[in-house]
Each structure stands twice: as structure tokens, then as C-alpha cells.
Amino acid sequence: MLYVPGCNKRYLEKAKELRADTIILDLGDPILLDAKIQSRDNVIEMLQERGYGKREVVVRVNDFDSPWGLDDIKAVAPLQPDAILFPNIESKEDIINCIAELDRCGGQDISVMVMIESPLAVLNAKEIASASDRIICMVLATSDLISQMYARTTQDRIALTTSLSLVILAARAYGLSVIDGIHSNLKDTASFEYACRMGRDMGFDGKSLVHPDQLAYANDAYTPKPAEIEQAKAIISGLAEANASGRGTVVVDDKLVEHHHVTAAKRLLVQYEMMEELENNI
């Protein structure tokens, strides 16, 4: 998921060619105050053009207690982006109020994503995830979280692991996607690649990015490899054959396989097929 600042029309245009699954048209905190209105106008133009192909197009709006948040919603809701990303959600009431305002502005059919960026939001992740069936994704803002925790950024991300796991658990408990936070040190590609693979292994669906140069690393980490695809197929067929012969389990590549492994294997294949389709239509 690539954040693209609404204030920069060149970046907004360039994003139409990038191999990102999701483009987040950003009106939020990174935009200078005197560029807020122009950014909104630029994003409106991009939504009207519908030039991002099969990519998911999301708009991150400003906080509702800012001078721009409500006007952002009024402007973009009629243009029907794939989702609205609401920042600084800390409670069930926060997201219910945001969705109510979105509906009042004509966005009843628009999906919702929530940003988890504070200690309170992490502790309330379960109630936030359960607040509405309009929510499709939880997005970590790990840089903000680190600052509010008074923690330090390290390669092993030790300060974040508990928070990441809590949000992943909340998302999975309610059937939501969940996306890891950004990596702000653009030159430290080794740490970024490590963070991508760590997030993948923890259970994230993908990573938030702030620069196109990060795309290759994230795509490589989160795209299933050919060997993983073949193993998934072997797991599915292996247990099916075992069940047909009256056995409830089977050993595939020296590992015991049960039904939950088949469920995970089928999910991996669906994920891979969706990626292939997107790649072929970018």
C-alpha cells in the first residue's frame, strides 16, 4: 500500500504506473497546511479520471477535529473511492462516528479502513475491529506508535512486537485485512527488507510504503514463491487423498498435515491468483 501525497501531481500521475496493490491518495498529516485545499482538489481530479487501473484506490482523510476532515469526506465520498482510510481511530465510538458522517455525505457503499497509531488504539483494537462490518482493513502507523510509546526504532522491532501481534489478532478475529506500518529510513534497505519479511511471518497481509523504491522489496517478501505454491497444492491434494482412503491426516514434506493446513494452503493459492490477475492488469 503506497502513500502518495495529494499535494504532488507528478507523484499522483507516476503512481498510475507503479506495481502497487493499493494507492493511498493522502490528504493527511504529511501535507503542509497551506497545501491542504490544493491537495484535495488534486485528489478529486485523480478520482474523476479513474486512471489507476485495477489498483485499489484509497483516500486518507484528515482528522475530523481538524479544519479539513469533514470537507474531505464531503468532497471525495460522491466519487466512490474503493475505501476511506480514517486516521487516529482510538475507540469504537470514533469509527462509528466516522462511518455515520461518511454515510451522510453519500458514501454508504464505501468501505472503511482504520489507522491504529496510538497505545490506546492498540489496547482498543478488538473493539475497533468489531465496530462495523464496513471495516475491511486495519493499518498500523508504527512510526507514530513508536513516538507515543517513547520507544526506539531498532531492526528487530522489539518495542513493537506486542502491539503488532495485538492488532493482528484483533483483525483476524473479525475477518479483516491488516497492514504493517511504514519504514521511514529510505536508505536503510536492509532493515526495510527485514521488516517486510518479519511482518509477513507475523501474519500481516502487506506493508505501507512511502517511496516507490520500496515496492520491489515489499512485493518480493509478500508474493508467494513457486515452491510455496507447489507445497500448497501438495498439501491440498495429499490430505484429500488421505481422507479418501479413510485417514484424517497425512505427512507432506516430512510435516504432519491437518485440515487447518489445507485452509491456509487454499488461502495462499487464492492470494497468489489475485496477485497474478493484478499484475497482468497493471
Summarised one tens digit per residue, pLDDT across range 200-221 is 999 999 999 999 999 999 999 9
pLDDT for the residue numbered 70 = 94
Nearest to residue 250, comparing CAs of 229, 234, 266? 234
pLDDT for the residue numbered 126 = 98
pLDDT over threshold 90, residue 235: no
Gap between the Cα atoms of 6 and 127, Å rounded: 31
SS (H, E, C) the chain: CEEEECCCHHHHHHHHHCCCCEEEEECCCCCCHHHHHHHHHHHHHHHHHCCCCCCEEEEECCCCCCCCHHHHHHHHHHHCCCEEEECCCCCHHHHHHHHHHHHHCCCCCCEEEEEECCHHHHHCHHHHHCCCCCEEEEEECHHHHHHHCCCCCCCCCCCCHHHHHHHHHHHHHCCCEEEECCCCCCCCHHHHHHHHHHHHHHCCCEECECCHHHHHHHHHHHCCCHHHHHHHHHHHHHHHHHHHCCCCCEEECCEEECHHHHHHHHHHHHHHHHHHHHHHCC
Summarised one tens digit per residue, pLDDT across range 70-89 is 999 999 999 999 999 999 99
Nearest to residue 59, comparing CAs of 76, 36, 35, 34? 76
The response to whether 253 counts as a known ligand-binding position is no
pLDDT (average), residues 192-199: 96
Q: Please give the domain boundaries of the chain with CATH numbers for all domains.
A: 2-222 (3.20.20.60), 226-280 (no CATH)
Summarised one tens digit per residue, pLDDT across range 97-134 is 999 999 999 999 999 999 999 999 999 999 999 999 99
What is the residue-averaged pLDDT of the chain?
A: 93
Nearest to residue 32, comparing CAs of 8, 49, 54? 8
The response to whether 273 counts as a known ligand-binding position is no
Structure confidence at residue 241 as a pLDDT band (50, 70, 90): confident
pLDDT over threshold 80, residue 250: no
The response to whether 117 counts as a known ligand-binding position is yes
Higher pLDDT, 244 or 74: 74
In angstroms, the first-to-last Cα distance of the chain is 15
pLDDT for the residue numbered 265 = 85
